[in-house]
Amino acid sequence: MLRHELYFSPLVLVVALLGCIGGPSGSTERISTLEDQTLSLQSENRALRETAENQANQLARLQQTLQTFAELGDRRMNELFYVSRIDIEKMSGGADFDGQPGDDGVIIFLELYDQDDQIFKAAGSIDVHIYDLSDPDHPELIAKYAYDVQAARKLWMGRLMSYHYKLKCPWQVRPPNGPQVVVRVMFLDYLTGSAFQLVRQFDVRLPPAPQPPPSDHPGSDKQ
């Protein structure tokens, strides 16, 4: 906290310095220098006063916030909306991103529900793992996505009856070898720190198997 002793009168300083100069024998240049110094000190004093006032205002706001939190106590969480569960909308599943035969990944519509079981938007991070189920005993990770809170915010769809995070997740390592994948979605709520996880199995469309090149029939004439 700044002390009041810092706020002195520039006029007192000017009088003292004029006495040091020696009265009328002081040059005009020295008087001009003193005037510049006086203006500079006045500006510094104003800046110090403004800084002290701003710090006092910030401290008052902080004390008010702390008092409010103390008064709310445990009731605070009861008055807030927070995530109580997550779900994957039924339209989620395999997706074609390039217009060619076969799915290129999955689209996940992630829904968040509050304590009243109503869909709402909440801030948090999202992780998605996709596994190939062609060998059920040894599922293989073929794609992995991590969205921090800023990236997830851009994926929220909140219009035209859509209230979900839309996650487009192409295959990364390779396409699945079979028609089914398992998707694991994790959401970390930034308000409460609670983590939620869901596992879903999706059917996906495989691209058509490559056809062998045509071969000459036995006995046909070769050109």
* 215 domain-assigned: no
Based on the fold, state whether residues 55 and 105 are members of the same structural domain: no
Overall domain count for the chain: 2
* 40 domain-assigned: yes
Residue 218: phi, psi to the nearest 5? -60, 140
59 pLDDT band, cuts 50/70/90, is confident
pTM: 0.64
Query: What are residue 165's DSSP bridge partners?
Result: 110, 156
Is the model's pLDDT at 1 over the cut of 50?
Answer: no
Residue 133's CATH number: 2.60.40.1940
Structure tokens at 34: 């003193």
Domain final residue pick, 43, 75, 107: 75
Residues 159-217: pLDDT tens digits? 877 899 999 999 999 999 999 999 999 999 999 999 999 999 999 999 887 777 776 65
Based on the fold, state whether residues 52 and 135 are members of the same structural domain: no
* 221 domain-assigned: no
**Mean pLDDT score of the chain:** 84
> Structural domain of residue 18, as residue ranges?
4-75
Residues 126-156: pLDDT tens digits? 999 999 999 989 999 999 999 999 999 999 9
76 pLDDT band, cuts 50/70/90, is low
Based on the fold, state whether residues 99 and 196 are members of the same structural domain: yes
Based on the fold, state whether residues 89 and 52 are members of the same structural domain: no
Structure tokens at 36: 């510049």
